Amino acid sequence: MSRLVMKFGGTSVANVERIRNVARHVKREVDAGREVAVVVSAMSGKTNELVGWCKEAAPLYDQKEYDAVVASGEQVTAGLLAIALQEIGVPARSWLGWQAPICTNDTHGSARIESIDGAGIIDGFSRGEVAVVAGFQGVHKESGRITTLGRGGSDTSAVALAAAIHADRCDIYTDVDGVYTTDPRVVPKARRMDRVAFEEMLEMASLGAKVLQVRSVEVAMVHKVPTYVRSSFDDPANPGEGTLICNEEDIVEAQVVTGIAFSRDEAQITLRRVADKPGVAAAVFMPLAEAGINVDMIVQVVSEDGNTDMTFTVGSADYERAYALLEKIKDDIGFASMAGAKDVAKVSAIGIGMRSHAGVAARAFRALSERGVNIRAITTSEIKFSVLIDEAYTELAVRTLHSLYGLDAA
Amino acid sequence: MSRLVMKFGGTSVANVERIRNVARHVKREVDAGREVAVVVSAMSGKTNELVGWCKEAAPLYDQKEYDAVVASGEQVTAGLLAIALQEIGVPARSWLGWQAPICTNDTHGSARIESIDGAGIIDGFSRGEVAVVAGFQGVHKESGRITTLGRGGSDTSAVALAAAIHADRCDIYTDVDGVYTTDPRVVPKARRMDRVAFEEMLEMASLGAKVLQVRSVEVAMVHKVPTYVRSSFDDPANPGEGTLICNEEDIVEAQVVTGIAFSRDEAQITLRRVADKPGVAAAVFMPLAEAGINVDMIVQVVSEDGNTDMTFTVGSADYERAYALLEKIKDDIGFASMAGAKDVAKVSAIGIGMRSHAGVAARAFRALSERGVNIRAITTSEIKFSVLIDEAYTELAVRTLHSLYGLDAA
């Protein structure tokens, strides 16, 4: 008998009528003879409401209490979906994070799953029972306190549960019908991909594609859980196709470039006339790391007089904090001046085929320069490259690369 | 060091601003050197919203899932109050029903508390920590499922917790400032009582006074928990007086009648010409009991021809069901016809002093008849008597008895 995890996000369970629709999707899979666990998010808007109350009670709220408050959102949806399933004749019960249990570490607010005990859920399967699992939440076993996985964590709950109960597939139902070659709102000719490799999806999610949470793709890749992104707005009786995230080997016709991702949540900081001496990079980047600020692209240009200009990017949410921190330790580092910009964007091309094809990035640099797009920084890895550009050129750059690599729909 | 349980209902925690006000009440007690556990209800309106969703998902919803959904309301308030307390410098943590744990039987939707493990909460006291306990909920230990105690169950949570942790007192904060001799909306001259005995309060709550849930008074009486009803709308820095529910011995000047209660949620059923033979009462009342319908007042009048008219009351919510059931088993019982009325009310006088004073009820019958109030049925017990009258005369009867027994404020 095949075993399936289905995950439904906030817009898919926004009200009781939508929850009933989800129940019909689940019934279809049960009727097809599958053992089904369903992971649900909070009704859309609920999490924001709960977070708002925490902030109102105290701007710097206790993360442990925040978790207890916010986890209630998924608890409600799980119970309601179990009721809706029973109502259409599908035996079901809800499982909260502490009940399964889904054990996490104690990093409240952004905990990581350490282990899932699927025995109770599998036992339910043997009685013909659908398991409705509250996403986004777990429990820290030593303290017995509720934890949450951080925003978007329900995707991770679903994939980790699929790994734990050895499901054949994890279906992520969302408000789009799959993973596209790029954002269709920017490039109308963007195409839905039938398949995409775990590694590619991981890069896409990391580089700005919002369809799946990065951590969930990591978990899917590590545990080789085939993950299918599909639309919850399809007719439950006759659903359409989606995108399967799978092993590289299962993709017959690999393309050089599979997709174009972009992110406007970038900020650039430039330190001018940094002393070009050993240990200076550490003096800059260690304090940022200790403050929990991720640095992404780094470019260093050595000037003739033995000094160097150092440019790097941070997430725009961290920009002010990074700037202030560097100002404070200016004398320790030793630089002449600092400049920053928030109106920058990162555009990336991803494809496993890059491994075996030389000059993929070089073609992009030429095409962008021909269209007058100034490249501020570049990073490359085995299966992707990224360029940092002025934000105003984002759409132009994305469309240029999408066409360049033959991704436009016919 | 004295130990206190404080309980705040839905209107007292209706929004974050009100929750902050509750935090100030708690801080006052902590500053006075007390160890404090606070029991909270859901924000007012939340429980109704959650119940509404369950009903929308399935009219006959699963009580187990209902409990998981509805218990989320108190979970939110507990977390928010813990945050609000921390914000004003009071160390605090939330405790959900399954965390303490508060163990109940498995009667989902109206579970009874079987035991409370207060060890974790008392351990927190030793670290100077206030325990914020989600009311209304518990856990069934064998199944590990969330249970709820039924409407108003947070009062019971509070009193049971006070018993479990050997608190010196349980303070029930509500939207009125105590227990009154009767409903002040009906009798403007009603007075707040300083003290009332457990037994009297139990009768008052059972007979229609809505200030405390009956079950909570039972628990307070059995475990001898002094319970203080007071207003959450008082200035936290300078709170007013309330009503202490305590042992009879602690009331210096007992009155013959302490209070007048009334209930309009009554319905009357009369069976005419019932065969006056052994076993006929069982034939009527056993089927009703088996259907979970409580019968309250019973009056039997034997006629000259050996038949009898039997009148009794049920809760108005059960009226239609009781009527239909009796119609169905009419031939088994053997009666000529049936009549019913929903426009009846029960007015009761309660007082421990009745035990030692004869003729207390007789004075009432005379006073009511002098005012033209027709008495349809009477029941008496050691410390109360009740009369069933036409609903239209409720206010008149309540005022008459309130004056008769000297309860009017000067």
Known binder of ligand: residue A76? no
Task: Decide: helix, strand or coil at residue B146.
Answer: strand
Q: Are A347 and A208 in contact (CB under 8 A)?
A: no
DSSP A353: G
d(C-alpha B309, C-alpha B344), whole Å: 18
The pLDDT value recorded for residue B280 is: 82
φ and ψ of A215, to 5 deg: -60, -35
Summarised one tens digit per residue, pLDDT across range B150-188 is 777 999 999 999 999 999 999 999 988 999 999 999 999
* One-letter amino acid of B315: G
Specify whether the CB–CB gap between A119 and A99 falls below 8 A. Answer: no
Position B253 in a domain: no
Cβ–Cβ < 8 Å for B235, B177: no
At B102, the pLDDT band (50, 70, 90 cuts) reads very high
For A7-35, the pLDDT digits (tens) are 999 999 999 999 999 999 999 999 999 99
- The residue type at B149: L
**Closest Cα in chain A, distance from residue B152 (Å):** 20
Nearest Cβ partner for A96 among B54, B68, B80: B68
Domain count, chain B: 2
A277 is in an annotated binding site: no
Chain A nearest-CA residue for B84: A57
Classify residue B410: in a domain, yes or no: no
What crossing angle do the helices spanning A72-87 and B46-57 adopt, rounded to 10°?
30
Q: Which two tokens stand for residue B103?
A: 């163990």
* Same domain assignment for residues A82 and A202: yes
**Domain assignment present for B254:** no
pLDDT for residue A173 is more than 90: yes
Spatial separation of the C-alpha atoms in residues A263 and A188, rounded to whole Å: 18
Asked if residue A212 and residue A267 are part of one domain, the reply reads no
Cβ–Cβ contact B119 with A under 8 A:
no
pLDDT score at B245 = 96
Burial of A379 (0-12, 13-18, 19+ CB in 10 A): middle
pLDDT at position A276 over 80: no
**Helix H or strand E segment including B70:** helix B63-70
In this structure, the answer to whether residues A375 and A355 fall within a common structural domain is: yes
**Nearest-by-CA chain B residue for A54:** B80
A383 with A307, same domain: the answer is yes
Cβ–Cβ of A98/B98 closer than 8 Å?
yes
What's the pLDDT score for residue A26? 98
Q: Are A406 and A360 in contact (CB under 8 A)?
A: no
Q: How many CB atoms lie within 10 A of CB A306?
A: 10
Determine, yes or no, domain membership for B291.
yes
Q: Report the 10 Å Cβ neighbour count for B249.
A: 8
Task: Say if the Cβ atoms of B82 and A65 lie within 8 Å.
Answer: yes
B99: closest chain A residue by CA: A144
* A236-259 tens-digit pLDDT: 999 999 999 999 989 877 788 999
How far off is chain A from B51, nearest CA to CA, in Å? 10
pLDDT of amino acid A207: 84
What pLDDT sits at residue B380? 86
Is A135 within the bounds of a domain?
A: yes
Cα–Cα distance measured from residue A188 to residue A192, given in angstroms and rounded to the nearest whole number: 11
Does one domain contain both A232 and A92? yes
Q: Which of A68, A99, A144 is nearest residue B75 as measured by Cβ atoms?
A: A68
Query: What are phi and psi for residue B274, nearest 5 degrees?
Result: -80, 140
Residue B100: pLDDT above 90? Answer: yes
Question: Alpha carbon A141 to chain centroid distance?
Answer: 26
Residue B93 touches partner A, C-beta closer than 8 Å? yes
Q: Which amino acids of B are annotated as binding site for substrate, given as ranges?
A: 47, 74
Q: Give the 3-state DSSP-derived string for A23-79, with helices as H, strands as E and coil as C.
A: HHHHHHHHHCCCEEEEEECCCCCHHHHHHHHHHHHCCCCCHHHHHHHHCHHHHHHHH
For the record, the structure tokens of B222 come out as 């059995």
| CA B163 to chain CA mean position, Å | 18
CA distance A122 to A130: 9
Where a domain ends, among B248, B282, B303? B248
Both tokens assigned to A157: 């709950």
B91 touches chain A (CB under 8 A): no
Q: Does one domain contain both B193 and B273?
A: no
Backbone angles phi, psi at B328, to 5 degrees: -70, -35
DSSP 8-state assignment for residue A282: H
Question: Residue B152: what residue type?
Answer: G
Number of Cβ within a 10 Å radius of residue B257: 27
Instruction: Please indicate, yes or no, whether residues B187 and B274 belong to a single structural domain of this protein.
Output: no
Distance, in angstroms, between B110 CA and closest chain A CA? 17
Higher-confidence residue of A6 and B310: namely A6
Distances (CA, A) of A409 to A182, A191, A398: 11, 6, 15
Nearest residue on chain B to A68, judged by CA atoms?
B79
Binding site of B for ATP, by residue number, is 7-10, 174-175, 180, 185, 210-211
What confidence score (pLDDT) does residue A379 get?
86
B311 shares a domain with B234: no
By Cβ distance, the residue of A53, A58, A79 closest to B87 is A58
- Non-local (6+) Cβ contacts of A329 within 8 A are A283, A287
β-pairing, A92-95 vs A35-40, is: unpaired
Q: Which of B172, B309, B161, B149 is CA-nearest to residue B223?
A: B161
Same domain? A228 vs A268: no
User: How much of chain B, in percent, has pLDDT values that exceed 90?
Assistant: 78
Most B CBs within 10 Å, among A46, A50, A51, A72, to test the B interface:
A72
Distance from C-alpha of A35 to C-alpha of A135, rounded to nearest angstrom: 18
**By the CB < 8 Å criterion, does A175 face chain B?**
no
The pLDDT of residue B277 is above 90: no
Q: Measured between alpha carbons, how far is B28 from B46 in angstroms, rounded to an integer?
A: 28
Flag whether pLDDT at A299 surpasses 90: no
pTM of the model: 0.87
State the smallest CA–CA distance between residue A54 and chain B in angstroms.
6
The residue behind tokens 């398991």 is: A131
The secondary structure element, H or E, covering residue B264 is strand B259-275
Cα separation, B369 vs B375, whole angstroms: 8
Q: Two tokens at A306?
A: 């033995």
Order the strands of the B130-134 sheet from edge to edge: B92-95, B130-134, B35-40, B3-8, B169-174, B227-231, B243-246, B195-197
Q: Do B57 and A99 touch (CB under 8 A)?
A: no
Please name the residue that has the structure tokens 């929750």: B19
List the one residue out of B400, B409, B298 whose CA is nearest residue B349. Answer: B400
Helix, strand, or coil (residue B68)? helix
Range of the domain at B207: 3-248
List, for residues B369-387, the tens digit of each pLDDT value.
999 999 988 888 889 999 9
Which of A80, A98, A99 lies at the smallest CB-CB distance from B53? A80
Nearest one of A262, A267, A273 to A333, comparing CA atoms: A273
Task: Give backbone dihedrals phi and psi of B156, rounded to 5 degrees, phi first.
Answer: -65, -40
| Closest residue of chain A to B144, computed from CA coordinates | A99
Q: Express each pLDDT in B82-96 by its tens digit.
A: 999 999 999 999 999
Q: What is the dihedral of CA A301, A303, A306, A309, to 10 degrees?
A: -40
* Maximum pairwise Cα distance, chain B: 79
Is A10 assigned a ligand-binding role in the annotation? Answer: yes
Residue B2 Cα to chain centre, angstroms:
27
Q: Do residues B364 and B385 lie in contact, with contact meaning Cβ atoms separated by under 8 Å?
A: yes
CB contact under 8 A, A54 and B80: yes
Phi and psi at B218, nearest 5°, equal: -55, -50
| Residue A254 lies inside a defined structural domain of this protein | no
Do B268 and B215 lie in a common domain? no
- Find the residue in B nearest to A21 (Cα): B57
Kindly report the nearest CA distance between residue A142 and chain B, in angstroms.
12
Q: Is B90 on the interface with A (CB under 8 A)?
A: no
Q: Chain B residues with CB inside 8 Å of A72's CB? A: 72-73, 75-76
Q: Are A407 and A188 in contact (CB under 8 A)?
A: no
Largest Cα separation within chain A, whole Å, is: 78
Higher pLDDT, B356 or A264: A264
- The CB density around residue B10, as the number of other CB atoms within 10 Å, is 23
Closest CA to A4 of A17, A27, A15: A27
What gap in Å lies between CA A109 and CA A65, rounded to an integer?
10
- Among B387, B359, B371, B405, CA closest to B208: B387
**Strand, coil or helix: what is B409?**
coil
> Is residue B314 packed enough to be buried (19+ CB in 10 Å), middle (13-18) or exposed (0-12)?
buried
* CA A343-A345-A348 angle, 5° bins: 175
Residue A118 one-letter amino acid: G
Q: Using CA atoms, how far apart are residues B345 and A166, in angstroms rounded to an integer?
A: 63
Distance CA A112, CA A216 (A): 11
Residue A387's pLDDT band (cuts 50, 70, 90): very high
Q: Which of B43, B54, B83, B146 to mutate to test the interface with A (most CBs of A within 10 A)?
A: B83
B79 to A65: CB separation less than 8 angstroms, yes or no? yes
Q: Which of B72, B74, B123 to mutate to test the interface with A (most CBs of A within 10 A)?
A: B72
- B348 has which bridge partners? B261, B386
B58 and A84 in contact by Cβ < 8 A?
yes
**Chain B residues within an 8 Å CB radius of A20:** 57
B242-253: pLDDT as tens digits: 999 999 989 877
Question: What phi and psi values does residue B9 have, to the nearest 5 degrees?
Answer: -85, -175
Residues of A in contact with B19 (CB under 8 A): 57
Interchain pair B53, A64: CB under 8 A: no
Tell me what percent of chain B is helix, strand and coil, each rounded to the nearest 5. Answer: 40, 30, 35
Give contacts of B53 with chain A, Cβ < 8 Å: 16, 76, 80
Task: Give domain status of residue A143, yes or no.
Answer: yes
Q: Would you state the pLDDT for residue A380?
A: 86
Over residues B214-231, the mean pLDDT reads 95
Point out the domain boundary residue: A226, A249, A272. Answer: A249
Question: To the nearest 5 percent, what fractions of chain A are helix, strand and coil?
Answer: 40, 30, 35
Closest CA to B191 of B406, B364, B345: B406
| Residue A109 belongs to domain with CATH number | 3.40.1160.10
Q: 34-53 in B: which are within 8 Å (CB) of A?
A: 50, 53
- Identity of the amino acid at A266: E
Mean pLDDT of chain B: 93
- At B107 the three-state DSSP class reads coil
CB < 8 Å to B121, chain A: none
The residue length of chain B stands at: 410
Tally C-beta pairs within 8 A across A and B.
Answer: 110
* A47, A92 contact by CB (below 8 A): no
Note whether A107 contacts B: Cβ–Cβ < 8 A: no
Q: What is the reported pLDDT for A306?
A: 72
- Quick one: pLDDT at residue B89? 97
**Res A85: pLDDT:** 98
Residues A48 and A121 grouped into a single domain: yes
List B residues 370-389 in contact with A (Cβ-Cβ < 8 A): none
Interface test with A, best of B49, B80, B98, B137 (most A CBs within 10 A): B80
Residue where a domain terminates, one of B248, B269, B292 = B248
Both tokens of B80, joined, read 């928010």
Distance CA A306, CA A315 (A): 30
Average pLDDT of span A270-292: 86
Domain shared by A57 and A85, yes or no: yes
pLDDT tens, residue by residue, A317-370:
899 999 999 999 998 888 999 999 999 999 999 999 888 888 888 899 999 999
* pLDDT over threshold 80, residue A208: no
pLDDT tens digits, residue range A126-156? 999 999 999 999 999 999 999 999 777 999 9
Residue of A15, A49, A55, A62 to mutate for B, most B C-beta atoms under 10 A: A62
Least confident of B47-51, B55-59, B276-280: B276-280
Identify whether B255 is part of a domain.
no
User: What is the structure's pLDDT at B140?
Assistant: 97
Identify the residue among A53, A133, A140 best suited for mutation to test binding to B, counting B beta carbons within 10 A and taking the highest: A53
Tell whether B58 lies on the interface with A, counting CB pairs under 8 A.
yes
CB contact under 8 A, A87 and B58: yes
B276: domain CATH number is 3.30.2130.10
Instruction: Let me know: does B201 contact B259? Beta carbons within 8 Å.
Output: no
